[in-house]
Chain A
Amino acid sequence: MLSRIAESLFWIGRYVERADGTARILDVHLERLNHLPTEERRSVARELLAVMGARPQSEDFGLEELLHALAYDKHSATSIAGSLGAARENARRARETVSSGLWESLNTTYYGLNQHRKDVVGTYRFCHWVLERTAMVSGLADTTVSHDDSWLFLALGRSLERADMTARMLSTRDVLSAGMSWVNMLRCAGAYESFLRTRRAAFGDQHAAEFLLLDRLFPRSIVYALRDADECLAKLDPSAQRVGFINDGRRIVGQARTFLEFHRTDDLMSELPEHMERVQKAVSQASDAISRKYFNQADELAWVGEVS
């Protein structure tokens, strides 16, 4: 298939997942933010923005600015509106390849972006709406597109971004240590009920982080998402080598996944920041490597404002 089309599909996967993850994070954190004193709210808003990989545009950065930056700013790839706009733009360029169902649902989503009140209460509904739309896009992509190379690129983008987003969800724990409970961390990922059913009575930070980071069966866990990405990469490059590797993307994703999957630790919480940073780094490096190998023109589309 055309590199250009493959690249569009890869980014549709990433942008839609990014919108989904950002909506989840915003929805849960907004509730916490609302309960903080104004001064603290400002500093936490800044830090939250930094976790999402952006910097405040102005000195005066409060709740409203945060909502704009993460939800409604159409010109930023960090925001929900920006991501969904970019996903739709990519679908427009690959319109003859994507199914009409997928295209239409992205297009409808794009036109629905403006129909929400942009205050706190409106943003809750907005986040809810975004989750519904992204689930629909994902579902249509899975059920109306042949699972050939084109779908694999979409799924690859989605799983890489998902690993990255879950890492960011876990990183927000540091930002809002005042009152950010593990329950909310799990709610971010929609993992609360699943977690409770698997863990019987074992509650707490450590278990929750472990679940989101290492669980082999929960689809939004980092290990699960990285394994999905790994499988997509393997199918895209069937030149099975008996020894060694020629594919940088696979190496990066595979190393990160296996390191986490087989990592043994007694003190996950103190290592968490490192895990999160390395996962995010691995995702961006893998994305670069994939671009170099398959698309060959990725630099201008890279994930902006990476935290370093």
Chain B
Amino acid sequence: MLLVPCPNCGPRNAADLTYRGESHARPDPNTATREEWRTYLYLRDNPSGWLRESWYCSSGCRTHFQIERHTFTGELREPLLPGSKTGGES
């Protein structure tokens, strides 16, 4: 079982949250070229290793947040709040 650390609700079973997948910066829709936009929409790094990803605390506080998770071992690094580059306090 994967325990996901929600910044507000604390560690929760992954089944209680909604997985949003890989986090990538969204290009500006007004200036992005077709290729940039579709790259953002569809292409993924999908590494076997550390991945920064988004979660949605859908049955709790309804916060969107990011964590870094190892896609093979399931290890976690500290949660990162949206917009924070250095990681947020939970």
**Are A and B co-members of a single complex?**
no
On B, residues with C-beta under 8 Å from A are none
